[in-house]
Amino acid sequence: MSAQPSGLSFNEALGKAHQMESELAQEDEYRLFMAQGEFLGKAIPVCINKTGNFAEKFTVVVSLEASGAVSQLWHQPENAFVACFANEMKRQFSYIGDKAPFFTAIEYSTNN
């Protein structure tokens, strides 16, 4: 799922996420960090159980509506675990940004 109906490529969406995240006030950045951390703690075990594997490095970018719901998403790489994680993000992740659409990304790597 490298691009969605908006016509943005994965890299364009990721660039928007980096820009919007960098413009957040410190308290909003903290709220986003906490929302992402809470989501990671729930979604990773679910997807390991569903797929029987784990991706050591992946990125999921989402566009969020004014309500905080995910409206579009992009992910890399293409594999069962990352597809599951992206699906869980579509279903369960929520964050209300200071503008809509608000782009954000979860970039995960075990090499950090």
Q: What is the pLDDT of residues 12-28, one digit of tens each?
A: 999 999 999 999 999 99
Q: How far is it, in rounded angstroms, from Cα 19 to Cα 97?
A: 13
Mean pLDDT to the nearest integer, 29-46: 96
Taking CA atoms, 19 is separated from 46, 83, 88, in Å, by: 30, 25, 24
Three-state SS string over 92-106 comes to HCECCCCCCCEEEEE
Share of the chain above pLDDT 70, in %: 94
The H-assigned helical ranges of the chain are 10-22, 26-51, 80-92
pLDDT tier at 2, thresholds 50, 70, 90: very low
pTM: 0.89
Cβ atoms of residues 64 and 105 within 8 Å: no
Residue 96 CA to its chain's centroid (Å): 13
